[in-house]
């Protein structure tokens, strides 16, 4: 199971106040970036990111060369390429090469070497080049060893590499680094790292192992469900994923309950399928009728 990338990554500064639009004009750049990252945290960068994109674009309206906003928008636009086979990815990613080169130049010209290594690591991961990705994130951490953001990136990259190679040991190393990154983030809070994300990420990592530990998967997803904002796409995914974990752990009733809750948030095929599987699981657990004498 590939993690849909994590990256955390806005349309006009005009003040919109109706029908779900956003008021942007009164906010400064730092406030807009904070709002963008908060929106991405709610959706774990994989749900509806349109609000975050509007904030990021408003930042760029005010500061066209804002390095972070450019990076966040780029990573969001590149993210769908992870859903296509590697053989097709270079053609898709080529459309973003000029934007990435511009970001790399901005980082280099501003002497932000750690950030340059960080972006290079993520860029390499889109091509499944995890040797380079891990080498680059290690260079970022050598420059900023206490960065929870870079620690979290290393943990995520190790997990992705391990799942690609069916190497549970590599996944375990990534999970351990995610846990250290979480502690670091609690000590030194950052708009780029949100505590609630870690439970979702660790649950996904363990579930994607060759030998998943379903009770741990359930524990992390349930903690995420308790702490995350309800009603988002990622919230629905967490309910659906924990439904799978409950069924694999043999708790068919809780599996069905979780699938039903996912479907109250949004209708999607995976949850419908898990509900059917849970119903079948419950039927299979019913005691067989006594034989007639």
* 206 and 122 in a common domain: yes
The whole-model pTM stands at 0.86
* 119 and 101 in a common domain: no
Q: What is the pLDDT of residue 292?
A: 54
Q: Band of the pLDDT at 222, cuts 50, 70, 90?
A: very high
273 vs 291, more confident: 273
Q: Band of the pLDDT at 45, cuts 50, 70, 90?
A: low
Q: What is the pLDDT of residue 16?
A: 32
User: Is residue 87 included in any domain, yes or no?
Assistant: no
Q: Is pLDDT at 15 greater than 50 in this prediction?
A: no
Q: Is pLDDT at 10 greater than 70 in this prediction?
A: no
User: Is residue 88 included in any domain, yes or no?
Assistant: no
For 67-115, how does the pLDDT look when each residue is reduced to its tens digit (9 = 90+)?
999 999 999 999 999 999 999 999 999 999 999 999 999 999 999 999 9
Average pLDDT, the chain: 89
* 100 and 5 in a common domain: yes
Enclosing domain of residue 190:
112-212
| Listed residues 161, 191, 212: the one ending a domain | 212
* 268 and 240 in a common domain: yes
The top-scoring range by mean pLDDT among 225-234, 244-253, 283-292 is 244-253
The DSSP-derived string for 92-140 is HHGGGHHHHHHHHHHHHHTT-HHHHHHHHHHHHHTTT-HHHHHHHHHHH
Q: Is pLDDT at 7 greater than 90 in this prediction?
A: no
| Listed residues 157, 178, 212: the one ending a domain | 212
User: Is residue 78 included in any domain, yes or no?
Assistant: yes
Q: Is pLDDT at 21 greater than 50 in this prediction?
A: no
Q: Do the Cβ atoms of 44 and 2 come closer than 8 Å?
A: no
CATH number at residue 222: 1.25.40
User: Is residue 271 included in any domain, yes or no?
Assistant: yes
Into how many domains does the chain fold?
3
* 229 and 190 in a common domain: no
CA separation for the pair 41, 179 (Å, rounded): 17
User: Is residue 290 included in any domain, yes or no?
Assistant: no
Q: Do the Cβ atoms of 152 and 178 come closer than 8 Å?
A: yes
* 121 and 78 in a common domain: no
| Listed residues 167, 192, 212: the one ending a domain | 212
User: Is residue 293 included in any domain, yes or no?
Assistant: no
């Amino acid at each position: 199971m590939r993690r849909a990338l994590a990256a955390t990554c806005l349309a006009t500064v005009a003040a919109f106040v109706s029908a779900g639009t956003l008021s942007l004009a009164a906010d400064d750049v730092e406030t807009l970036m904070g709002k963008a990252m908060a929106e991405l945290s709610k959706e774990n960068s994989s749900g509806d990111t349109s609000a975050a994109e509007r904030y990021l674009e408003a930042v760029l309206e005010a500061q066209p060369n804002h390095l972070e906003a450019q990076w966040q928008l780029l990573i969001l636009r590149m993210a769908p390429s992870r859903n296509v086979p590697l053989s097709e990815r270079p053609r898709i990613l080529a459309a973003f090469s000029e934007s990435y080169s511009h970001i790399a130049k901005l980082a280099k010209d501003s002497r932000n070497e750690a950030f340059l290594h960080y972006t290079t690591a993520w860029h390499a991961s889109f091509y499944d080049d995890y040797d380079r990705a891990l080498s680059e994130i290690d260079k970022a951490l050598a420059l900023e060893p206490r960065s929870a953001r870079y620690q979290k990136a290393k943990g995520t990259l190790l997990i992705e590499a391990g799942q690609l190679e069916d190497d549970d040991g590599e996944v375990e190393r990534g999970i351990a680094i995610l846990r250290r990154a979480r502690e670091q983030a609690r000590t030194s809070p950052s708009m780029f790292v949100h505590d609630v994300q870690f439970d979702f990420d660790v649950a996904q990592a363990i579930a994607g192992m060759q030998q998943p530990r379903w009770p741990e998967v359930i524990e992390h997803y349930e903690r995420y469900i308790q702490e995350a904002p309800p009603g988002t796409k990622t919230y629905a995914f967490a309910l659906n994923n924990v439904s799978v974990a409950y069924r694999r752990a043999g708790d068919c009733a809780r599996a069905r309950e979780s699938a039903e809750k996912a479907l109250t948030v949004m209708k999607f095929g995976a949850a419908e399928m898990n509900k059917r599987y849970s119903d079948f699981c419950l039927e299979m657990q019913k005691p067989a009728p006594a034989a007639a004498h």
